[in-house]
């Protein structure tokens, strides 16, 4: 019987960085489960452990404690050679810092991972050309990273991550430095890597607009997952917040009306001021009541 392990899974993952005498707890018991073929997003504040998590799943670093499974395999006790194979064949990694080699052309940057696994020249040529065409850089193959725009560099990094056809793609802030429009195109491409190429995709992002386009949104804070939501659940949570805001505003408005009536009775405001403020407050009250009513409350 196969165990109940998910395609990608972490259990109580802990990562402690030792910097001289100082210990940094980057992950503090992080657990998640992702199924094959899903596209998910990981969203959370700076320093919450997102890159650390991807680096463990991508086989770049070991966790201090806990277990991780990638493509169904337990990588917690993997040897350096096994992690090397994971990096080369199983997980395509688009780094926050891109990691393109500045002296190599776009073509050579994409070819590099294929050279590393000893792919034959013809296969390399076919694959690199196809990938660069797919990401829309067919005419930029001989440009070095410095001779490419931010969005183009990001696309070279995606192509390089896909070179060895890994079943999993992880992307760390793939739209971080890009303008909205260029970022949207990159996201569109990552979505198609999931739907058209059938790959399991993990995207780390700060951007709720991007997260909303994935199957599930994992919120990470202080090295732990604090919620897992579908986009519609996340939307509902936003509605909850709005409802609470309206309720608080309504309470305040009612208090303001009471207060206004009192100061008028005590003749501390003129009839004109009273009338004007009374009308405004009632309009606000009616608006809030109507909105809450509209939301079924
Ligand atoms: N190599 C390292 N050595 C020591 N501390 C580290 C190292 N890498 C990360 N950290 C610390 O671990 C914590 C988590 O860092 P991480 O890079 O995973 O955060 P992040 O969520 O990716 O942040 P950002 O959104 O800014 O990229 C931070 O407090 C960071 O300072
Ligand atoms: Mg990061």
Q: How far is the centre of ligand 2, averaged over its atoms, from the C-alpha of 184 (Å)?
A: 20
Pocket of ligand 1 (CB under 6 A): 17, 19, 24, 26, 44, 46-52, 96
The closest alpha carbon to 25, from 66, 56, 64, belongs to 64
Q: Which residue among 13, 14, 16, 26 is best mutated to probe the pocket of ligand 1, counting the most ligand atoms within 8 A of its Cβ?
A: 26
Q: Which residue among 19, 42, 50 is best mutated to probe the pocket of ligand 1, counting the most ligand atoms within 8 A of its Cβ?
A: 50
H-helix or E-strand spanning residue 40: strand 39-43
Determine contact, residues 59/83, Cβ cutoff 8 Å: yes
Ligand 1 atom nearest to 45, measured from its CA:
25
Ligand 1 atom nearest to 223, measured from its CA:
14
pLDDT at 99: 87
Q: How far apart are CA 49 and CA 265, in angstroms?
A: 59
Determine contact, residues 44/228, Cβ cutoff 8 Å: no
Pick the CATH number of 8-229 from 3.40.50.2300, 3.40.50.620, 3.40.50.300, 3.90.550.10: 3.40.50.300
Q: Whose CA is nearest to atom 6 of ligand 1?
A: 17
The closest alpha carbon to 166, from 133, 129, 127, 136, belongs to 127
Determine contact, residues 288/246, Cβ cutoff 8 Å: yes
Residue 74, C-beta contacts closer than 8 angstroms, at least 6 positions apart: 5, 67, 68
How long, in residues, is the chain? 297
Q: Whose CA is nearest to atom 12 of ligand 1?
A: 26
Q: How far is the centre of ligand 2, averaged over its atoms, from the C-alpha of 5 (Å)?
A: 27
Q: Which 3 state secondary structure label does DSSP give 91?
A: strand
Q: How far is the centre of ligand 2, averaged over its atoms, from the C-alpha of 201 (Å)?
A: 17
Q: Where are the domains of the chain?
A: 8-229, 235-294
Instruction: Using 70 as the pLDDT threshold, list the residues of the chain that sit under it.
Output: 1-3
Q: Which 3 state secondary structure label does DSSP give 271?
A: helix
Owner of token pair 């040897």: 79
Determine contact, residues 60/87, Cβ cutoff 8 Å: yes
Q: Which ligand is nearest to the Cα of residue 220, counting in written order?
A: 1
DSSP 291: H
pLDDT at 192: 94
Q: How far apart are CA 282 and CA 297, in angstroms?
A: 19
Handedness of CA 250, 252, 253, 258 (dihedral sign): positive
Determine contact, residues 127/114, Cβ cutoff 8 Å: yes
Q: How far is the centre of ligand 2, averaged over its atoms, from the C-alpha of 170 (Å)?
A: 12
Residue 11 tokens read as: 């259990």
Determine contact, residues 102/146, Cβ cutoff 8 Å: yes
Give 245's Cβ-side CA count (13 Å radius): 7
Phi-psi region of 186 (alpha: psi -120 to 50; beta: other; left: phi over 0): alpha
The closest alpha carbon to 57, from 270, 45, 40, belongs to 40
pLDDT at 111: 97
pLDDT at 92: 96
Q: How far is the centre of ligand 1, averaged over its atoms, from the C-alpha of 72 (Å)?
A: 26
């Amino acid at each position: 019987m196969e165990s109940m392990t998910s395609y990608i899974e972490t259990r109580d993952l802990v990562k402690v960085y030792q910097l001289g005498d100082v210990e940094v707890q980057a992950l503090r018991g992080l657990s998640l489960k992702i199924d094959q073929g899903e596209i998910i997003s990981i969203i959370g504040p700076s320093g919450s452990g997102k890159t650390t998590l991807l680096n463990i799943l991508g086989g770049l670093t070991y966790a201090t404690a806990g277990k991780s499974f990638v493509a169904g395999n337990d990588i917690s006790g993997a040897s350096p050679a096994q992690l090397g194979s994971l990096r080369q064949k199983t997980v395509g990694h688009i780094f926050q810092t891109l990691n393109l080699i500045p002296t190599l052309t776009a073509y050579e940057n994409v070819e590099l991972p294929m050279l590393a696994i000893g792919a034959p020249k013809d296969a390399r040529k076919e694959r690199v050309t196809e990938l660069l065409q797919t990401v829309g850089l067919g005419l930029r193959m001989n440009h070095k990273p410095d001779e490419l725009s931010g969005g183009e560099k990001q696309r070279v990094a995606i192509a390089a991550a896909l070179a060895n056809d890994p079943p999993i793609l992880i992307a760390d802030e793939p739209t971080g430095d890009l303008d909205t429009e260029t970022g949207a195109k990159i996201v569109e491409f990552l979505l198609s890597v999931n739907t058209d190429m059938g790959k399991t995709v993990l995207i780390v992002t700060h951007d709720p607009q991007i997260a909303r386009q994935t199957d599930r949104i994992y919120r990470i804070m202080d090295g732990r997952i604090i919620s897992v939501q579908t986009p519609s659940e996340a939307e509902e949570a936003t509605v909850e917040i709005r409802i609470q805001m309206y309720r608080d505003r309504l309470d305040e408005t009612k208090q303001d009306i009471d207060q206004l009536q009192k100061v008028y009775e005590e003749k501390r405001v003129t009839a004109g001021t009273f009338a004007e403020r009374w009308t405004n407050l009632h309009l606000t009250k009616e608006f809030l009541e109507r909105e809450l009513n509209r939301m079924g409350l």
